[in-house]
Amino acid sequence: MSIHNQEGQFQTINNLELDQGLSEEIEASKLLLPNTIPKQVVDQFLEIIESHQFMQVSANDVLNIKLESEDIISLYVELFILKKYLTKYNLEEYEDHDMNILNAQILIPKLIHLIKTNEIPLIQYDVLWILGNIATFQAFDKLIIQNDGIDIILQYLNSTYQQIQLQANWTLGNIATEGELQQVCRDQVRQKGGVESILRLLSKLKDPKTIEQCIWSLTNICSDGITHLKEETVKEIILQLCNFINNYDDEIIIQTCLVFLCEIIPSTYEKSLYIVQSNIVPKLLRLVVNQKRKISIKSFEFLYDLFESGGQVCDHILSLKFLDVAETLLKDKNSRIKKMDVLTCCLLLCKGTEKQQKLLIENQMVFQEIFKQVQLKNTNFIQSFVNLTLSKDRDIILVLINNQIISNFTILFEQLQDNELLEKMLKGLENIFSVVKTEIVELNPKQLINNSELNQIKELFYFHKVTSLRVSAEHIIQLLE
């Protein structure tokens, strides 16, 4: 095929795409031109869309816009030109062509007045779109807020037209994240029921793209927290986001939901419990082990956050074979999730309930990998691991003894500079000998420690400067007498 033929083919494809885009815009516009409008007027609106679709719009065309005509068709032509300009150029072009704050001071109040007073849905939609784009530059958002624009836009979240609801949602999302007065916008939206309106809209949506857009807007509006929101509203946010995670495989939807749940919803035990009760954990575990999914890392991070809540939250996650998943990740050399992150998460169980501790030691691979970090003198791991040595459970103590915990701890005594941690380790050994003496009668405490190790403990008793540490060493010696 010659170059000329290739160019002709590409041009044909491009023209077809443009024709399809125009056709889709006309069909979408028809939905915003109800039967109450005379057919002749509807045809005029559609003619403007079609005839102006490929027109070249200059900055001068925009500067000539007055939005003062009483003729609705003339008014719409000006709106269409402004919309075309915003579509084609970066907003910085405004400043380059004197579309500065003085021009905006005239234009924005007229746009807000127009959307407030005009009953034609197509005009309402286009004005919302224009305001959303203008708000992303300079101090134009301030003018929208100062002219009661937020209140007006909020009203359109409850429009009978879903297209308009979605556009109002997007416009508020833009103002809440881009403008100089973004905080004012966020507070107004949260205080005046905007979040609840967006949640009602979200509950009706099925299309992934519109769902993503609504969650994006909700994230911007609540990016500084959830102040001014009722507890019932926060629960509804959690419920809807968890439902989206469960019911959709779209990466962006899951990512945006997890970001909101991780970074915006306050991390409290009650909210974590509410999240796991939404039955989200099985889906997250599947995502974690599916290394082909980019979302696996974020899913693991969220599970980690939930895991830290402990209690029933942790029990629920463990009941769904979390440790088996952790073992799978540790065995996978190509895992997206770092081995140390997996171990650090599992390490939380050392501080958990007796039931949780027993589940940890029953998974030999995970336990051994954690114990290796103790042997490698990883202080963070020792800090948590020492909690296992304080258990009164026979099975836990036997596992620790079989893994030479006494020898490993005494080896570390000479190397640790942290007296507080050293004392915890001594108390752990004291507890082990005590449990053996009272609960594991088949073992002789004296046979669990050699002379060299015992001498190290005696040296701590005789020579250490910290009194409480000497007391712990003395208790061990007494148990071995």
Q: How does DSSP assign 24-63, residue by residue?
A: HHHHHHHTTS-TTS-HHHHHHHHHHHHHTTT----HHHHH
Buried b (16+ CB within 10 A) or exposed e, 413-449: beeeeeeeebbbbbbbbbbbbbbbeeeeeebebeebb
Give percent of the chain with pLDDT exceeding 70: 91
Structural domain spans, the chain:
279-383, 386-481
Average pLDDT, the chain: 89
Region 221-240: mean pLDDT is: 92
* Helix segments in 363-443, DSSP class H: 364-375, 379-385, 394-402, 405-413, 419-439
- pLDDT at 49 > cutoff 70: yes
- pLDDT at 16 > cutoff 50: no
pLDDT value for 78: 92
Supply the pTM of this predicted model. Answer: 0.84
pLDDT digits (tens, 9 = 90+) for 159-172: 999 999 999 999 99
Q: How far apart are CA 42 and CA 61, in angstroms?
A: 24
Q: How confident is the model at residue 40 (pLDDT cuts 50, 70, 90)?
A: very high
Contacts of 138 (CB under 8 A, 6+ apart): 91, 95, 101, 104, 180
**Residue carrying the six token digits 């509006």:** 221
Contact 253, 208 (CB under 8 A): yes
pLDDT value for 135: 80
pLDDT digits (tens, 9 = 90+) for 334-380: 899 999 999 999 999 999 999 999 999 999 999 999 999 999 999 99
